[in-house]
Chain A
Amino acid sequence: MDQSALATFAAIVTSIVVEAAPFLLLGSLLASILAVFVGDAALQRIGQRSLPVQICLGLFAGLLLPTCECGIVPVARKLLRKGVPAGAAIPFMLAAPVVNPISIASTYVAFQGDLSVVLLRIGMVLLPAATLGWVLGGVKPPELLRPSLNLAPSFPMSGGGGCGCNSGCGCGGQHAHEGSPPSLHARLAEVLRHTAHEFLDMGRFLILGACAAGLFKVFMPQGVLGLVSGNPVLAVAAMMLLAVVLSVCSEADAFVAASLSMFPRPALLAFLALGPMLDLKLIPAFLGVFQRRVALAVIVVPAVMIFIMAVSLGMYWGLA
């Protein structure tokens, strides 16, 4: 790598990490507040509902809990560890970056009020998210999550949850075990401590993903994109690859897609649907947080389903 390439690589990695860090921090903070303040029982009640209801709750929770994909994995992991069933947590993780007010508004604005793009984007995200929720719905959290990453300490403050020291916490920290409930000050300190661990846990995946995206941007020949834009099937594949490689935030990707007007609409929809579910920031996080087979399912299923949906749309519109 020559100096110019190294400078470009460093600039891209820096810009991605600096852009995503606030959202990762917000996700870590949210996960920590869940851990310290929200009782396990309240979240575990979701598990008493039927699987379709769990899936619907997960799919549309992003409307109340807006977050982009940069911070979604720690929140989903925390939800699973707090006893939220996979049938709700997995659809939430995959759908919330798109099915949230900010992302919906940015898509609407970028495509100049074209509601069909907004609805198709949401539909193309909901379907794979619901499918994975359905498939993984019966799987217990210990079978979903990798135990080796349970580094962030859990706290006995939320009531009824137990700290989990003896269940593979791994942090080695001295957890508070006193019987009396901790003060608000102590809880807030625990939120910050927990946020520190969560942020560092997930931050390494963000950095790894940003490095991969930087390498692709430095070495990917841009001419390839122009060559495939005329072929509807190849254009869908190319835009999906671009979505993964660029790792653009789900709240900004609509503006990038709108600028790539030489690509057919199904390819742009594939870009818009896949990017928030799968990119180079998320792949290392999925592989690090979930058991191998679950991570592969979370990576492969949305990609395949979105490809099929986008190509089918192209055929329906007479483009392919």
Chain B
Amino acid sequence: MSFLKRLREITSGLRELPSRLQDIVDGLTLLCLGGLLAALAQSPHYWYFLNPRFSTLTLASGVLLGLVGLVPLLRPRPGRTTIARLVRQAAVLGFLCLAAYAWEQAATAPFPGVFSAPDETQALFQPTGEAEPAAAPLVTKNGAEYTRLNLAELYIMLDKGRTDYPSRFAMRVQLSEEPALKKLGLGVLTRTAVVCCLADSMQLGFLAQGLERFDTKRSDTNGWLEIYGRLEPMDPAGEQALKAVAQGEGMSLKVVNPKFRVAVEAAEPIGPPPFPYLFEFREQPPFAW
């Protein structure tokens, strides 16, 4: 008897399956989206998209979305199939495809603005994305002492009108050699700073003078340098040269400091840092470098 009752329940459930399909698809969609968030938060490529400090939040959201998706998936209710419901499912599925493509690109091909090496050498420059040991806050070069800081930290201090920035500093930068500037003996030192995500990323830069005295080219460094120098006010020639600086491409707004330029006292090619983007900005020593 109970077997027949159970069978009736099962057949009744199967009859209602088409009407419950929408809830099941909703649940599956949310599970996939939650899975993507959780997996991305755990992946070494998370930093391509967001500041790593948000990875825990992304992971928690992914888990919660999965939990939320389980309810309509496991306990679907009969419901109508409407265009609006199909559209919202399609939107999420479309996004999942786009995100999978972006992730695949992040894993295999560098983004514009981060790397500029020719295709055949790009594989050499895939950053590890792993945290690196803290560097000494001070470094001595040619008998002079330099404070290590990152380009965004220096930029922010200048932006705020501070005058207590280190008089001599060492920074890791990417050199952008533009023909119009090279004729004037100038280059542009840049780093991309990310506060939250790529949408707010900015490629910050300084004009640099004195680079021609150093060997800045090494085939295996992809334009990465550690430079040692000091700031000097921009002169009229520098202001004129600023107009020749190429605009950023695609991903990030490019802003070159209009008031100061870097007088380079030493420069040496280095390998790319674990994260090409800058995510941390301190305004007093020890700086994030």
Contacts and interface: CB of A to CB of B under 8 A. Distances in A.
Contacts of B117: none
A70 B229 CA distance: 43
Interface in B3-32: 19, 23, 26-27, 29-30
A222 B248 contact: yes
B141 interface: no
B135 to A, nearest CB: 24
A247 B101 CA distance: 22
A217 B199 contact: yes
A35 interface: no
A15 B71 contact: no
A138 interface: no
A320 B142 CA distance: 50
Interface of A is mostly: helix
Contacts of A6: 101
Contacts of B94: 207
Contact of B29 (A14, A149, A200, A210): A200
Given A172-B79, A193-B71, A196-B72, A207 B49 contact: no
Interface string A141-159: 0000000110100000000
Contacts of A201: 88
Interface residues of A, number: 64
Given A17-B95, A173-B78, A25 B61 contact: yes
A298 to B, nearest CB: 21
Contacts of A8: 111-112, 250-251
B67 interface: yes
Tell which of B29, B68, B160 has the most Cβ of chain A within 10 Å. Answer: B68
A151 B84 contact: yes
Contacts of A192: 67-68, 70-71
A221 B254 CA distance: 11
A160 B94 CA distance: 40
Given A10-B105, A11-B48, A199 B30 contact: yes
B55 to A, nearest CB: 10
B61 A11 contact: no
Contacts of B254: 222
A139 interface: no
Interface in B197-221: 197-200, 202, 204
B64 interface: yes
B103 interface: yes
Nearest to A247: B199
A21 B200 contact: no
25 contacts: A7-B109, A8-B251, A10-B99, A11-B251, A13-B102, A14-B95, A14-B99, A15-B49, A15-B50, A18-B49, A19-B196, A25-B64, A112-B160, A151-B82, A151-B84, A196-B69, A204-B92, A217-B251, A249-B196, A252-B195, A256-B195, A258-B159, A259-B156, A259-B202, A262-B258
Given A15-B197, A21-B61, 6 more contacts: A7-B101, A8-B112, A12-B199, A12-B251, A217-B251, A262-B255
